[in-house]
Amino acid sequence: MRDLIKVTRDKMTAAVLYGKQDVRIEQIPIPRPQSGEVLVRIRAALTCGTDLKVYRQGFHARMIVPPSVFGHELAGIVEEVGPNVESFAPGMRVVAANSAPCNQCFFCRKQLANLCQDLQFINGAYAEFIKIPERVVRQNLLILPDSLSFSEAALVEPLACVLRGIEETGITEGDTVVVIGLGPIGLMFVQQLKSFGTTVIAAGKRPNQLALAAQMGADYVVDSTHTNVVEQVRNLTDCRRGADVVIEAVGVKETWQQAMGMVRRGGTINLFGGCPSGTHIPLDSTLIHYSEITIKATFHHTPRHIREALEAIRLGQVRPRTLITGEESLGSLGSVLERLLNRNGDLKIAIIP
Ligand SMILES: [Zn+2]
Ligand SMILES: [Zn+2]
């Protein structure tokens, strides 16, 4: 039974990153699943800001040394399972997260699996097949509800990071929350926060993204290109007090600093966007101390948040179709990444092998 759909060839088409802005479409061996592993035939892989960064610089310090396959937001169909896989069989529609924790280290035992010292990452979503390692199979390979398409389901990973960001920031109903940065991550925050009954102020630069934020339910949109964005946000809050929570989803010095100026006394900032390494930012110590500002940052996700993200998509709290602005073939990945680098207005593109 299990052997029914086994692939009969030994090479597949995959995008291989060779260096800075150098992606080649090649034939490489199809990985074979060993004990506990699952081979997935990829049906959709989504582009992501991290992939763009990797493409621009030609590597990723923690996980991608060229020449290497890359891409990490994927959904597909189980093609083949290795020995000792009980929960999956060929033909099942699945989504995989891009990592799984060890469950043994100090951080895992502290319920901080996102900070696991030995997070096992998977890369290689821009290909016909991907082998899911045993640890990810056990913890972060989920079966799709029939109602979800592969592209929609592939949004699970970045959404899980967003859900964890909201949870850790302690946002409650009725709060006024500013989201700075309206790329796919910022727009996911907007959608998810609106499903919670918060007032959302969306601040961004590009007209199409401001329009999308408004369509997605943001109560106010603030164009940060023209006027003083901190003043604009304060003017939108009662008594110019500032927002209860500010989420920074850009990852540059200027917006990290803006976030601190927008929050109310006793409020919380989540510095969600990662700045380039080596970035240092001055702090107004008087503001931080006498206004009791909480500064948080959240990174990555845990298996629980991956499950919650799939459920949030199923329930329509976040609508992937509003964030996936195109579909392209695997062969055009290079030109897609170039277009995204040039900020052509696309959000995420679904790459269909
Ligand atoms: Zn991603
Ligand atoms: Zn661990």
Which of the 8 DSSP states describes residue 86?
Answer: -
- Average pLDDT for runs of 10 along the chain of length 353: 64 97 97 97 96 92 89 98 97 98 98 96 97 98 97 98 97 96 97 95 95 97 91 96 98 95 98 93 94 97 98 96 97 96 92 97
105 exposure class (CB count in 10 Å sphere: 0-12, 13-18, 19+): middle
343: β partners: none
Residues near ligand 2 ion, CB 5 Å cutoff = 101-102, 105, 108, 116
The angle subtended at Cα 121 by Cα 188 and Cα 33, nearest 5°, is 120
What distance in angstroms lies between residue 78's CA and the mean position of ligand 1's atoms? 21
Instruction: State the ligand closest to the CA atom of 122.
Output: 1
Residues 44-98: pLDDT tens digits?
999 999 999 999 999 887 788 899 999 999 999 999 999 999 999 999 999 999 9
Residues 195-216: pLDDT tens digits?
989 999 999 999 999 999 999 9
Instruction: State the ligand closest to the CA atom of 102.
Output: 2
What distance in angstroms lies between residue 108's CA and the mean position of ligand 2's atoms? 4
What distance in angstroms lies between residue 102's CA and the mean position of ligand 2's atoms? 4
Instruction: State the ligand closest to the CA atom of 117.
Output: 2
Instruction: State the ligand closest to the CA atom of 46.
Output: 1
What distance in angstroms lies between residue 192's CA and the mean position of ligand 2's atoms? 28
Structure pTM? 0.95
What distance in angstroms lies between residue 301's CA and the mean position of ligand 2's atoms? 13
**CB crowding 179-192: b at 16 or more within 10 Å, else e:** bbbbbbbbbbbbbb
Instruction: State the ligand closest to the CA atom of 300.
Output: 1
